[in-house]
C-alpha cells in the first residue's frame, strides 16, 4: 500500500514540476518576444513529459453495481441461451432494450441501494485505516 502511495505522489510531483518549468519557459520567452517558439524550446530543453501511471490500491473497495448491472446479471444467461449466435454487443443491446421495457425495476434498485450502503461503509472503514492520506 505504501508503494502505491509513493508511486502516485511521484506521478503528481512529475506533472507539477513539468508544468511549472513549462510555464516559466513560456513566460521568459514572452518577455523576450519569442513566444511563438515556446513549444519548440520546451521540447528541446525538457523533452517530452514522462508518463507515470498512477497505481490503484488493491485493498480499496470496489465500486457498487448499478441496478442495470444487477438486471444484466440475472437476464444475460437467458438472452445468451435464446440467441447463441449473438455476439456480446448484440447481447448488451438486447439487455438494454429489455431494461427500458422493464416495468418492475424496484428489485434491482433495492439491490443497488444495498450495495451502495455496503460500499460506503467499506470506504469509511478503508479511509479510517488508510495511514498514507
What digits encode the pLDDT tens for the residues 83-95?
999 999 999 999 9
Residue 7: per-residue pLDDT: 79
C-alpha grid cell for residue 60? Answer: 480499496
How many whole angstroms separate alpha carbon 69 and alpha carbon 53? Answer: 29
The pLDDT of residue 59 is 82
What architecture is the 67-128 domain classified under in CATH?
A: Orthogonal Bundle (1.10)
Contact 99, 67 (CB under 8 A): no
C-alpha cell at position 51: 508518463
Among candidate residues 78, 120, 76, 112, the one with its CA nearest the CA of residue 96: 76
Q: Is the pLDDT of residue 4 over 80?
A: no
Global confidence as pTM? 0.61
Amino acid at each position: 500500500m505504501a508503494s502505491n502511495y509513493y508511486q502516485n505522489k511521484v506521478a503528481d510531483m512529475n506533472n507539477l514540476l513539468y508544468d511549472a518549468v513549462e510555464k516559466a519557459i513560456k513566460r521568459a520567452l514572452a518577455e523576450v518576444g519569442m513566444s511563438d517558439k515556446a513549444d519548440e524550446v520546451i521540447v528541446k530543453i525538457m523533452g517530452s513529459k514522462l508518463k507515470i501511471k498512477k497505481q490503484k490500491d488493491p485493498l480499496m473497495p470496489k465500486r457498487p453495481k448499478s441496478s442495470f448491472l444487477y438486471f444484466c446479471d440475472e437476464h444475460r444467461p437467458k438472452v445468451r441461451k435464446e440467441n447463441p449466435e449473438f455476439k456480446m454487443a448484440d447481447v448488451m443491446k438486447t439487455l438494454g432494450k429489455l431494461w427500458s421495457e422493464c416495468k418492475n425495476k424496484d428489485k434491482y434498485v433495492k439491490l443497488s441501494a444495498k450495495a451502495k450502503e455496503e460500499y460506503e461503509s467499506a470506504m469509511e472503514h478503508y479511509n479510517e485505516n488508510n495511514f498514507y492520506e
